[in-house]
Amino acid sequence: MATTTKQDYYELLGVSRKAAQKEIRQAYRKLARKYQPDLNPGDKSSEEKFKQVQEAYDVLSDAKKRQMYDQFGFETPGSGGMPSGPEDGDVHFDFGGFDFGGGAGQAGGATSFRDLFSQFFRGGGAAVEAPSHAEAGSSLEYQIEISFWEAVRGTVKKLTISRLDTCTDCHGTGTVGQPQTCAACGGTGQVTQTSGKMRFNLTCPQCGGTGRTQNICRLCGGGGRVRRADTIEVRIPAGVQTGSRVRVAGRGNAGTGGESPGDLYIITDVQPHPFFDRRGDDIYTTVPITVTEAALGSKIEVPTIDGRSLLRVPPGTNSGQKLRLREKGVPSVRNPKLRGDQYVELQVMVPKPVDERVRELLKELEKIAPEDPRKDIFERAKS
C-alpha cells in the first residue's frame, strides 16, 4: 500500500517540537478559525487545510499519541528489533508483521503507522468536542497621562480599552447547539483500530473521549471569546504618582470555561507642575522675600495646594533656608487621612541700587552694622 507524503504535524500548527499543550491548543484554535469551512464556503483548499490542522491537533493534543508520533513519526525503520508485548494504558502492542515504514512496496496489504493514523483523522468538518480546558482571564495594563491637580485631588477618567470578552453567541463555551452523539465512536469515547497483530484502544480523536460533539461557534471560532472595545469610567484616587497602579477588578480579559476574568491595571503618568515640586507625598516650593523681611522677620502668605497659607519668617533668615508647613502636602494614596508636608525654601531678593537714596541707605547700613560674612571662609577652606 503506497502512502503520500504529509507535512510534519508540528510544522502544520507552527509550533516547536517542545511546545507545551497550551501553546499547541492556542495555535490550533487560531488556525481552525482561519480555515473553518463554514467561514470559507466553497474554498476546497481551506477545507483541506482545516482537516490537516484538525488531524495534527488530534495527535499532538493526546499525550500517548504524541509520544508515539514523536518516536515513530510518519517514516520509521522496519519492525526488526522492536519490543513486543502489552504497554501501559489502553494501547496494546504486538509489532510482529506490522510495517512501520511509509514507502511503496509493502507486503501483503500491511498497514503502515502513517496509514493507521490517517484512518483515524479523516473528516473534520465543524463537529468538535467542547473545549475541556478552562483558564482564568489574563490581566491588562493601560497607561494614562493625568495632570498634577488630577493626581493631587483625584479624578474620574473615561477610557476605551480593547479586551477579550465572553462570546455572546456561545456564552464562552466555544460551541453552539445541542450536543450530539459522536459518530466516530458511537458515544463510547473510545475507538479501536486493528492492523495485523496490533490493536489500538484509543481515545476518540473526534470527541476527545467525551462521546459527544458540538458545532464550533462561528462568532468566536471556538475560542469562547471575542475582542471588543470597552468604554469604562475609572476612579483615580487622590495621591497617585507616576507609576502608580490603579486596579479595576474583573475588567481584564474574560476567562474560558466559566473561569473568572482578569483585572485591569491603570498605570498613571503624572505631568509636572511649574511651581509645586512633588517628591513623594511632600511638596517643595521656592518663595522670594525681601532683605527687610529676612532681617527683621515677617509673616507672609505662600501658595499651597489648598490655597493661601500664612508662613512665619524668623528674624535673620538667610537665603536658601527651608521652613516646613505641616500637612500641607499630598494625601497618601494608601491612607487618605495622612498627608505629606510642604517645604518652603526662602530666597532673599537683594534690592537693586537704581535710586541714589537707596544707595545712601545701604552705605549707611554698612557703617552702622558692619559685617564680614567671609571672615572665616579661608580658615574653613584650610581645615
How far out from the chain centre does Cα 100 lie? Answer: 45
Say which residue the cell 460533539 belongs to: 213
Question: Which position has the higher pLDDT, 62 or 297?
Answer: 297
135 close to 259: Cβ distance less than 8 angstroms: yes
Q: What is the pLDDT of residue 96?
A: 34
Cell of residue 46, nine digits:
481551506
44-60 vs 63-72: helix axis angle to the nearest 10?
A: 100
Distance CA 321, CA 304 (A): 18
Q: What is the mean pLDDT of the chain?
A: 80
Specify the higher pLDDT residue, 52 or 303.
303
Backbone angles phi, psi at 372, to 5 degrees: -115, 100
- Whether 131 shows a pLDDT value over 70: the answer reads no
pLDDT at position 221: 84
Strands 322-325, 277-279: pairing is: unpaired
What pLDDT score was predicted for residue 196? Answer: 59
141: Cβ–Cβ under 8 A, 6 or more apart, which residues? 264, 265, 266, 267
| DSSP secondary structure, 79-145, as one string | STT---EE-STTEEE--TT-B---SS--GGGPPBHHHHHHHHT---SSEEPPP----PPPPEEEEEE
Separation of alpha carbons 191 and 295, rounded Å: 100
Nearest residue to 278 via CA among 328, 230, 320, 224: 328
Query: What's the CA gap between 252 and 273, in Å, rounded?
Result: 32
Express each pLDDT in 183-198 by its tens digit. 888 888 888 877 656 6
Average of per-residue pLDDT across 140-151: 96
Average pLDDT on 110-133 reads: 45
Q: What is the pLDDT of residue 182?
A: 86
Q: Is the pLDDT of residue 380 over 70?
A: yes
Q: How far apart are CA 85 and CA 254, in angstroms?
A: 48
User: Percent of the chain beyond pLDDT 70?
Assistant: 80
Task: Work out the average pLDDT over 335-362.
Answer: 89
Which residue has better confidence, 293 or 122? 293
Most confidently modeled of 106-110, 125-129, 236-240?
236-240
Q: Which residue has the higher pLDDT, 51 or 121?
A: 51
**pLDDT band at residue 330 using 50, 70 and 90 as cut-offs:** very high
49 vs 36: CA distance, rounded Å: 9
Residue 110's pLDDT band (cuts 50, 70, 90): very low
Per-residue pLDDT tens over the stretch 150-179: 999 999 999 999 999 999 888 888 888 888
Nearest to 244 by CA among 278, 284, 283: 278
pLDDT for the residue numbered 247: 95
Instruction: Please name the amino acid found at residue 227.
Output: R
- Cα–Cα distance, 106 to 252 (Å, whole number): 57
232-260: pLDDT as tens digits: 999 999 999 999 999 999 999 999 877 89
Quick one: pLDDT band at residue 98, thresholds 50, 70, 90? Answer: very low
Statement: the pTM of the whole predicted model exceeds 0.75: no
Residue showing cell 494608601 = 334
What pairing do the DSSP bridges indicate for beta strands 140-146 and 264-270?
A: parallel
Give the C-alpha separation, 57 to 53, whole Å.
6
